[in-house]
Chains A and B, each alone.
Chain A
Amino acid sequence: MSDSGDTRRRGFVREILGRSDYAIISEWIEPGSRVLDLGCGDGELLAWLAENKAVEARGIEIDARKVQRAIARGVSVYHGDIDQGLTDYPDGSFDYVILSQTLQETRRPLHVLREMLRVGRHAIVAFPNYGHWSVRLSLLLRGRAPVTRCFPYQWYDSPNIHFLTVKDFQTLAREQGWTVEREIFLSGRYSGRLLANLLAEVAVFLLRR
């Protein structure tokens, strides 16, 4: 992905969630548990969890520069691809496996989700909702690939290759027989359940097999 796109997206995540993505994940994650963060970037979340929740933190990241920054701050990160990177972990290695904002960028999202639930007791998945009204409206009225706050890329430089909506994810979870333990829908600084598939910009799910 381009640097500017990445900065935009990270900026966006901060703007919409503030500290609340940490707050949500922190609230869900039990202290002292084993946590694997997929696409962990420079390890900011993991370092925070290690510091504040005393978790045993591990990460996977594909960008060498980010891996170096993560290791430099003391987080044990594996330099590799999350599409294949989980294979070597035994079943149930972690209490939580986190996939934040990268599901839509994976080559084989279903495979990744299944692997997350194999190596982890719980999976935490956050993704931008392609069913948001701004996306629908953009396509309907402008007739062009949507460029919105959550999907800030032109079609030709987007890292996103699998678009999904809240409803898509819920349907998949039901079909796969996964239990949705918690779900939170965020829009701007607000969270609520009302018309989630239309109003949520980002959805966060806590799953187990």
Chain B
Amino acid sequence: MIVDTQYVRFDSLSLDCGATLSPVDVAYETYGRLNESRTNAILILHAFSGDAHAAGLSRTDGKPGWWDNMIGPGKAFDTERYFVICSNVLGGCRGTTGPSSINPATGRPYGLSFPVITISDMVRLQKKLVDHLGIERLLSVCGGSMGGMQALEWAVAYPEMVVSAIPIATTARSSAQQIAFNEVGRQAIMADPDWNGGDYYDRQPPARGLAVARMIGHITFMSDESMRVKFGRRLRQKEEFGFDFSVDFEVESYLRYRGSQFVNRFDANSYLYLTKAMDYFDLTNGTGSLAEAFRNVKARFLVISFTSDWLYPSYQSLEIVNALRALNRDVAYCEIPSNYGHDAFLVDIAEQSEIIRGFLASTYRMVSSS
């Protein structure tokens, strides 16, 4: 499946912070076909470092999508049955307007003059895209991690439009620990002299700071066990310690590699803006009552967590599930056994595929028979 990223421009988007962005571009891809009654559309919401290229092979570089193991003919999100949409988030750096985009007022990249955005701003922009595609109701909204936050926000913000929601390895409100890791990443970027107050687009970007931020991120995405299995204490291309500060261990080599790779495809300012949006995310708006937040929700839910995910632990999924159960909503929940930590929703997909496939099929049956 060769796919093209498409683009659409909207005149303006008003934001939670009070500012208005204008214009706003959205990069998106679609897979499969919208049926005649327009009841088979599924919106996939990417996580922090994802993009619109969720499935298939990119026409430009031939790379597979970030969830290509889940989306495609015969896969969990079966593109022979469903019409699947994925767009890059607001504030991102992969085609949708973000801090690296040109500010029409100055003719230069926004940098830190880009307004601070929220998860609900992202969702409001996705709503424009869905309207643009002529879709009135989404069979499902689904995403992991930051994508799960958007799925929850969708179900709450547009209850009439969302038939089902599948939040995976996510939370209804960021915890102190999650905010703390995000802050460490931001500090690493801002401590890099090349960051230059966010103004670096015509010069050397803060590659070292961004790489360190990504290294921290990768540690939080794995589990103690997955790191032990993958790296152990193995040395990197040497038999003995180097007695210096070059790479000794495999794990160091891996983190440095992932850090340096990330710099090529991600904008440091987007890192700041997207992590801030996650930090601000609290579906209860500070009231603490999730049941209140979910009161008008109409969607049925499938909530998934993973046993070894310590960044988005299962108790956060259970908060969501229990609030929905307290309202007698239709909610299925499974904590999938996995050793892959938070990464599990991207890599450990056999069981996840099975339950999503069944959940979507039964939801589609309900929609088709009603």
B351 within 8 A of A: yes
Q: Which residue in A76, A79, A88, A89 is a CB contact (below 8 Å) of B335? A: A79
Contacting residues, chain A, for B322 (C-beta < 8 A): 88
B368 within 8 A of A: no
Decide: A64 and B326 in contact? CB cutoff 8 A. no
B323, B337, B361, B362 pick with most chain A CB within 10 angstroms: B362
B321 within 8 A of A: yes
A108 within 8 A of B: no
B359 within 8 A of A: yes
| Contacts known (A88-B322, A89-B325); A76 close to B331, Cβ less than 8 A | yes
Q: Which of B320-356 contact A (CB under 8 A)?
A: 321-323, 325-326, 328, 330-337, 351, 354-355
Question: Which residue on chain A has the smallest CB distance to residue B329?
Answer: A76
Question: Which residue on chain B has the smallest CB distance to residue A34?
Answer: B328
> From residue A57, how far is it (CB to closest CB) to chain B in Å?
10
Decide: A64 and B325 in contact? CB cutoff 8 A. no
Decide: B365 and A71 in contact? CB cutoff 8 A. no
> From residue B304, how far is it (CB to closest CB) to chain A in Å?
9
Question: Which residue on chain B has the smallest CB distance to residue A50?
Answer: B362
Q: Which residue in B326, B351, B359 is a CB contact (below 8 Å) of A88? A: B326
Decide: B328 and A64 in contact? CB cutoff 8 A. no
* Complex CA–CA separation, A79 to B355 (angstroms): 13
* Complex CA–CA separation, A88 to B325 (angstroms): 6
B357 within 8 A of A: yes
Question: Which residue on chain B has the smallest CB distance to residue A72?
Answer: B358
Q: Is the interface of A mostly helix, strand, loop or mixed?
A: mixed
Decide: B332 and A68 in contact? CB cutoff 8 A. no
Decide: B334 and A71 in contact? CB cutoff 8 A. yes
> From residue A158, how far is it (CB to closest CB) to chain B in Å?
25
Q: Is the interface of B mostly helix, strand, loop or mixed?
A: helix
Contacting residues, chain A, for B333 (C-beta < 8 A): 67, 77-80
Q: Which of B284-339 contact A (CB under 8 A)?
A: 300, 302, 321-323, 325-326, 328, 330-337
Decide: A71 and B331 in contact? CB cutoff 8 A. no
B residues contacting the other copy or chain, number (CB 8 A): 25
A residues contacting the other copy or chain, number (CB 8 A): 19
* Complex CA–CA separation, A78 to B321 (angstroms): 8
Decide: A64 and B336 in contact? CB cutoff 8 A. yes
* Complex CA–CA separation, A90 to B333 (angstroms): 18
Q: Which of A46-88 contact B (CB under 8 A)?
A: 56, 58, 64, 67-68, 71-80, 88
Contacting residues, chain B, for A138 (C-beta < 8 A): none
Decide: A71 and B359 in contact? CB cutoff 8 A. yes
* Complex CA–CA separation, A139 to B122 (angstroms): 68
A171 within 8 A of B: no
A71, A88, A89, A93 pick with most chain B CB within 10 angstroms: A71
Decide: A72 and B365 in contact? CB cutoff 8 A. no
Question: Which residue on chain A has the smallest CB distance to residue B318?
Answer: A80
Question: Which residue on chain B has the smallest CB distance to residue A86?
Answer: B325
> From residue A7, how far is it (CB to closest CB) to chain B in Å?
21
Decide: A76 and B300 in contact? CB cutoff 8 A. yes
> From residue B241, how far is it (CB to closest CB) to chain A in Å?
42
Contacting residues, chain A, for B334 (C-beta < 8 A): 64, 67-68, 71, 77, 79
* Complex CA–CA separation, A90 to B325 (angstroms): 8
Q: Can you list 14 A-B contacts with CB-CB less than 8 angstroms, sorted by A residue number? A: A58-B330, A64-B336, A64-B337, A67-B334, A68-B334, A74-B361, A75-B332, A75-B362, A76-B330, A76-B332, A78-B325, A78-B332, A88-B322, A88-B326
Could you list which residues of chain A lie within 8 angstroms of chain B, going by C-beta atoms?
Answer: 56, 58, 64, 67-68, 71-80, 88-90, 93
Could you list which residues of chain B lie within 8 angstroms of chain A, going by C-beta atoms?
Answer: 300, 302, 321-323, 325-326, 328, 330-337, 351, 354-355, 357-359, 361-362, 365
Q: Which 7 A-B pairs have the closest CB atoms?
A: A74-B362, A72-B358, A76-B332, A71-B355, A88-B322, A88-B325, A79-B334
